[in-house]
Amino acid sequence: MSTRTATHVIGTRDEWLAARLELLEAEKELTRRSDELAQKRQELPWVRIDKDYRLATEEGSASLADLFRGRSQLLVYHFMFGPDYAAGCTSCSSIADGFNGIAVHLANHDVMLTAVSSAPLPKLQAFKQRMGWTFPWASSHESDFQRDFSAHFTDEEQREGRIEYNYRREGRWQTMGSDHPVSQFARESGTDAATYIRERPGVSAFILEDGVVYHTYSTYARGLDAMWGMYQWLDRAPLGRNETGIWWKHHDRYLPAELRPEARSVEGRSDLPVQR
């Protein structure tokens, strides 16, 4: 017979198994539905890209087609790192922490994964080094790429309520208190809330066929949840996401200040542990 503690129901193994089998059916239905949605994504019409985007990369100026690096498919993560940021968005950084491990597998399955941000390339390179990342990261600082794919907006659009993000038009900008999550994220990126939120996260997919690039898919906001590795694990942990506020940080910020990479470089030491 089940009993209840102050926090949860305690049951027998047989009771757990019965409940688990019931949940399994719901999980299987979700998997089937997810497979159907994946097929519908692939059935979306392709839109030809005729604009000549030029992006700054570590190899030099590159076209959108260059980002494919010999593959036929390209996945772009629109990383929130604006020209006036001092560091990348904490949430985008958490998502990007998983890129190193999967990028090599995708590249060997005809898919390139790259991040694109509107900050100048030197800022991206410095932050990339700080984070210990190796995946490709391009700057659209002198390009309309981030704007055209709903990941960067102007001050005027923000003030006049003309931002269209996640396929919806937003209202005019409203000042946020210092304890608002957006304000907290902005501080972590070294900027103010209004400037911070003019950048937005997203994923866009492209295909290269007969020398022509086509846009096939984009998703934003909660559409990125499935790509945020830590949440997929937390959703399977006993207490789930268990959130009461902003708890995650840039991964090197979990370390004491004296053990962070910037402190090591100042002291000229290489023997201290760095969390990766």
Q: DSSP readout, 230-249?
A: HHHHHTTSTTTT--SS----
Q: Which of these, 154, 155, 145, lies nearest to 118 by C-alpha position?
A: 145
**DSSP class of 7:** S
Q: What are the residue ranges in the chain where pLDDT is below 70?
A: 1-6, 260-276
> What pairs with residue 60 in β-bridges?
57
Q: How many domains does the structure of the chain reveal? A: 2
The answer as to whether 11 is a domain residue is yes
The answer as to whether 218 is a domain residue is yes
Q: Which of these, 49, 73, 101, 40, lies nearest to 212 by C-alpha position?
A: 49
pLDDT at 7: 80
The answer as to whether 271 is a domain residue is no
Tokens matching residue 177: 């208190």
Distance CA 115, CA 127 (A): 13
Q: Tell me: do 31 and 120 sit in the same domain.
A: no
pLDDT at 51: 96
- In this prediction the pTM is 0.89
Q: Tell me: do 132 and 24 sit in the same domain.
A: no
The answer as to whether 24 is a domain residue is yes
Q: What residue numbers bound the domain in which 71 lies?
A: 48-227
Tokens matching residue 203: 């994923």
pLDDT at 240: 93
Q: Tell me: do 32 and 57 sit in the same domain.
A: no
Q: Tell me: do 134 and 176 sit in the same domain.
A: yes
Q: Tell me: do 152 and 54 sit in the same domain.
A: yes
Distance CA 219, CA 16 (A): 37
The answer as to whether 256 is a domain residue is no
The answer as to whether 159 is a domain residue is yes
Using the structure block, give the residue that is written with the tokens 């038009």. 169
> pLDDT tens digits for 223-233?
999 999 999 99
Q: Tell me: do 94 and 192 sit in the same domain.
A: yes
